[in-house]
Structure 1
Amino acid sequence: MEDTVWLTAPQLDAWRKFISVVELLPGALDSQLQRDAELSHFEYFVLAMLSEAPGRTLRMTQLAGETNATLPRLSHVVSRLETRGYLDRVPCPEDRRATNAVLSEAGWEKVVATAPGHVRTVRENVIDVLDDDDVADLDRIMARMLARLDPDNRFGSVSGR
């Protein structure tokens, strides 16, 4: 028995546009960051999350949650960033079984130097093409989608960062 509820023409149009943005936006973000800072978007995201954390420090498990990464993927990227002097891994003082990632002074300087270009790219490709009502709609729509995709808020997006 066929019980598939197919998308209507307007739903399919919206879906195709959404998928196009999902596919094209990461490339635009990565291109700018590679060109201007020699960082991937994910590397920058890791550094940015650490820059916003108290003491510029997060447990690796928390950093994985905030960047929506598996621990193996995060560990690989953290190793590269550590080699470049942007962060350090240190034992967690509260739990010796855990490891903290700590943004170094060089990492902080990299974030400070990189953020303006990244924000320009985000504005050019997302924010500036929307009016204030569109931004509010985007926020509302993304919150609804995230509530379904990330009901435990592992990605930390509901906090309003």
Structure 2
Amino acid sequence: MDEPRWLDTAQQRDWRAYVDGSIRLNEIMDRDLKSKHGLSLPEYEILVRLSEAPERRLRMAELAEHASQSRSRLSHTCSRLEAKGLVVRGSCPNDKRGVYAHLTDEGFAVLERAARDHVRTVRAFFVDVIDPDDLAAIGRAFTSVVKRIAEAG
């Protein structure tokens, strides 16, 4: 078995800063959305993805991919959103095996309110504390990360 390529001191520092910062940022965003709007961060992400889709609907398989959730986890999350009246699910007219998730008008209204607070949190704890050149580098870096994960998938 090959010896792993261990991280050097700087790589280890940067990796740990990423892990710690991303976990804490996700916790803050989740806490704020729950306390102000009764939404978890994964629920919010689903509402965002549906709001951006044509006719505000996506097939569940496609939504799972975009929202970075397993299909079973997405199903549970959508069940909670359905119970709140924010999403409805229905079969695809041309594929009886397929299921669509559709953002309701109420769901869109909740998202519009939540997005105002969410962007304030994103700005306060991420965008406004990072130098614009570093922010662009983060965008390029994570585009590469997502691409590599997709290739490995």
Q: Does TM, normalized by the shorter one, top 0.5?
A: yes
- Cα distance change, pair 77–2 in 1 and its aligned pair in 2 (3 A): closer
Residue 130 of structure 1: CA displacement?
1.4
Structure 1 unaligned residues grouped into runs of 5+ = 155-161
Which amino acid letter does the alignment assign opposite residue 107 of structure 1?
A: G
CA distance in 1, matches of 2:121, 2:44: 13
Residue 5 of structure 1: CA displacement?
2.6
Q: Which residue matches 1:61? A: 61
Encode CA deviations 1:12-52: one digit per residue, 9 max, x unaligned: 11111111112211101101101110100000101111011
Residue 68 of structure 1: CA displacement?
1.3
What are the equivalent positions in structure 2 for 1:33-72 lying under 5 Å apart? 33-72=33-72
Q: Which residue matches 2:93? A: 93
Normalised to the residue count of structure 2, the TM-score between the two structures is 0.94
Q: What is the DSSP-based 3-state SS (H/G/I as helix, E as strand, rest coil) of the residue aligned with 1:32?
A: helix
Paired-residue identity, %? 37
- Cα distance change, pair 2–78 in 1 and its aligned pair in 2 (3 A): closer
CA RMSD of aligned residues (A): 1.6
Residue 4 of structure 1: CA displacement?
2.8
Q: Which residue matches 1:28? A: 28
CA distance in 2, matches of 1:3, 1:72: 36
CA distance in 1, matches of 2:149, 2:47: 24
Matched, 1:79 2:79: yes
CA distance in 1, matches of 2:121, 2:138: 18
Residue 2 of structure 1: CA displacement?
6.8
Encode CA deviations 1:51-76: one digit per residue, 9 max, x unaligned: 11000010111111111111111111
CA distance in 2, matches of 1:2, 1:73: 36
Matched, 1:129 2:129: yes
- Farther-moved stretch of structure 1 (56-65 vs 141-150): 141-150
Which amino acid letter does the alignment assign opposite residue 8 of structure 1?
A: D
Which amino acid letter does the alignment assign opposite residue 57 of structure 1?
A: R
Which amino acid letter does the alignment assign opposite residue 139 of structure 2?
A: D
Normalised to the residue count of structure 1, the TM-score between the two structures is 0.89
Q: What is the DSSP-based 3-state SS (H/G/I as helix, E as strand, rest coil) of the residue aligned with 1:98?
A: strand
CA distance in 2, matches of 1:4, 1:83: 48
Q: What is the DSSP-based 3-state SS (H/G/I as helix, E as strand, rest coil) of the residue aligned with 2:144?
A: helix
- Farther-moved stretch of structure 1 (35-44 vs 135-144): 135-144
CA distance in 1, matches of 2:2, 2:51: 51
Q: Which residue matches 2:7? A: 7
Q: Which residue matches 1:17? A: 17
CA distance in 1, matches of 2:5, 2:42: 36
